[in-house]
Amino acid sequence: MTRLNNLVEWHADKEIWMITCSTNDSIGRAADQTIDLEKWAEEQAELAPVSLLLSANNYAASWVSLPGVKGRHVNRAIPFALEDMLIGDISDYTIIPSGSVAGRHKAYLVASDLVDRLLEVLALHHVRLVSLVPETALLVSGNIITRSNDDWLVSLPGRIEGRLPDSAIPALLESVANSPFDGVLSLSSPSRDQANLLKSTIATGYPEAFDDIEISTTSVFSEDSDVNLLQGRVLSASEENKPAAWWRGIAAFAAFFAIMSVVYLSVANHQLTQKVDQVSDASLTLYKRWFPGERTSNYEALFRRKLRGENTTESGAGFVTIMSEVAHAWGGGNAKASIEVQSIRYSERMGEFLLDVTAKEQGDLQVFKQALEARGLTAEISSATADKGVFKGRVKVGGAA
């Protein structure tokens, strides 16, 4: 198995995977060569098991607070805590919990489709990926800022972990200065002058951010990590040649009768089960049609609550009320002819809709906003961009203020 010194990164603009083969020195990793992943895979042995690092540009590390959640339920609660932070559906992401600090819990998020792309590329060249480790998961514990190519890798436990460009460092330090850290900040860089410059910047501009700042002369990376973004996608296989045990025939015979018993019971209850499934499928289909984009876990309870128009915020209107007003605003006047609704998401916690729409002209978005406000709703155009002759906009709609 290869060591964790090969970093893969997906370049969305070019739609290509690149791999950087690196070596370890006294302070971290120094890049040797960056090549096309497929070219690298062709040079590997047949069915070779490999472990790779995933660039911090291709995943996110988030810290969340879960007040009142017991320790044994944290891993189950984290996806729900992250749901409102994501643009897409929560089911589109692989979420790996990874420890806690001072009541805040860390989780790594990566698009499942991205991992599938990587596995497909390697499978085409008969390379077996057994471990995919987030790049920042190798940083040692503590407050770390280390230079990596043209960016900085940052790990401030409980606050932030990821890759930041030079332009983002002042904003990070400003945030830290507003809520200082207890402990020492370790800086490292292939260029000691660069590390000293950052140290001087922090010491003079943000003196209260950290108790102390030191320039690390040792590696700030560990050799391995227990975080694996594949988690269950890969299973090791092995084959052993052993003589058949004497009891296997009896066990097979007993298993046959057990299977026949299960089949008999299944047939006896098949008709009833079929009716239950039909009702359940019809309910789920209707729920998805009426409430597109909503999560479908425990949809029966959600369905009943939405049909009652239950209000989940003090000032917002219920789902049915807001949906009715939005439909009237869109159907009236010229909005229907000039505005196309691409998707609708409803936040039960916030009591508001998020509409993704396209308009022929930017002014049509304002007309639609005014139509919503005329119905007594609160409306806000959160974004509007021109794209291929149309304007794409995102409109937040809530109940009456």
pLDDT digits (tens, 9 = 90+) for 334-363: 677 788 888 888 777 777 888 898 988 888
234 touches 129 (CB < 8 A): yes
Structure tokens at 25: 């020195």
**What backbone torsions phi and psi does residue 124 show, to the nearest 5 degrees?**
-60, -30
Q: What would the pLDDT profile of 229-276 be if each residue is shown by its tens digit?
A: 998 554 333 444 555 565 677 777 788 878 888 887 877 777 777 777
Distance CA 367, CA 338 (A): 10
pLDDT at residue 29, rounded to an integer: 47
Please name the CATH architecture into which domain 139-223 falls. 2-Layer Sandwich (3.30)
Structure tokens at 48: 């070779």
pLDDT at residue 236, rounded to an integer: 39
64 touches 327 (CB < 8 A): no
Residue in 384, 381, 331, 332 with CA at minimum distance from that of residue 361: 384
Distance CA 377, CA 79 (A): 31
The confidence band for 333, taking pLDDT boundaries of 50, 70 and 90, is low
Q: For residue 210, what are the CA distances in angstroms to 19, 145, 172, 194, 204?
A: 35, 13, 13, 19, 12
Distance CA 372, CA 109 (A): 36
Residue in 112, 137, 141, 175 with CA at minimum distance from that of residue 54: 137
Residue 323 is which amino acid? M
Give, in words, the CATH class of 1-138: alpha beta
* Matching residue, tokens 């102390």: 212
pLDDT at residue 245, rounded to an integer: 61
Structure tokens at 107: 């989780």
Q: What is the pTM of this model?
A: 0.55
Distance CA 155, CA 172 (A): 11
Q: What would the pLDDT profile of 139-172 be if each residue is shown by its tens digit?
A: 998 899 999 888 999 999 988 999 999 999 888 8
Distance CA 5, CA 220 (A): 14
**What backbone torsions phi and psi does residue 154 show, to the nearest 5 degrees?**
-125, 135
Name residue 397's beta-bridge partners. 353, 379
pLDDT at residue 272, rounded to an integer: 76
What is the percent of the chain with per-residue pLDDT over 70, rounded to a whole number? 84
Distance CA 199, CA 197 (A): 5
Higher pLDDT among residues 26 and 57, named by residue: 57
Residue in 112, 90, 91, 88 with CA at minimum distance from that of residue 354: 88
Is the model's pLDDT at 106 over the cut of 80? Answer: yes
pLDDT at residue 116, rounded to an integer: 93
Distance CA 105, CA 83 (A): 15
Distance CA 124, CA 145 (A): 37
pLDDT at residue 365, rounded to an integer: 87
Distance CA 71, CA 74 (A): 5
pLDDT at residue 26, rounded to an integer: 45
To the nearest whole number, what is the mean pLDDT of the chain?
81
Residue in 163, 195, 191, 136 with CA at minimum distance from that of residue 25: 191
Element (H, E) at 248: helix 248-290
Structure tokens at 91: 């089911």
Distance CA 31, CA 10 (A): 17
Higher pLDDT among residues 93 and 27, named by residue: 93
Distance CA 379, CA 377 (A): 6
Same fold, 1-138 and 139-223: yes
Is the model's pLDDT at 10 over the cut of 90? Answer: yes
Each domain of the chain, given as residue ranges in start order, spans 1-138, 139-223, 242-290, 319-398
Higher pLDDT among residues 176 and 87, named by residue: 176
What is the percent of the chain with per-residue pLDDT over 90, rounded to a whole number? 26
Contacts of 334 (CB under 8 A, 6+ apart): 364, 367
State the average pLDDT over residues 50-76.
88
| Region for residue 162 given its phi and psi (left: phi exceeds 0; alpha: psi -120 to 50; beta: otherwise) | left
Across the chain, which distance is largest between two alpha carbons, in Å? 82
pLDDT at residue 301, rounded to an integer: 67
Residue 371 is which amino acid? A
Is the model's pLDDT at 315 over the cut of 50? Answer: no
The confidence band for 310, taking pLDDT boundaries of 50, 70 and 90, is low
Is the model's pLDDT at 382 over the cut of 60? Answer: yes
pLDDT at residue 234, rounded to an integer: 44
pLDDT at residue 129, rounded to an integer: 93
Give the three-class secondary structure for 290.
helix
Residue in 26, 27, 35 with CA at minimum distance from that of residue 6: 35
The confidence band for 312, taking pLDDT boundaries of 50, 70 and 90, is very low
Residue 373 is which amino acid? E
* CATH number for the domain running over 319-398: 3.30.1360.100
pLDDT at residue 303, rounded to an integer: 65
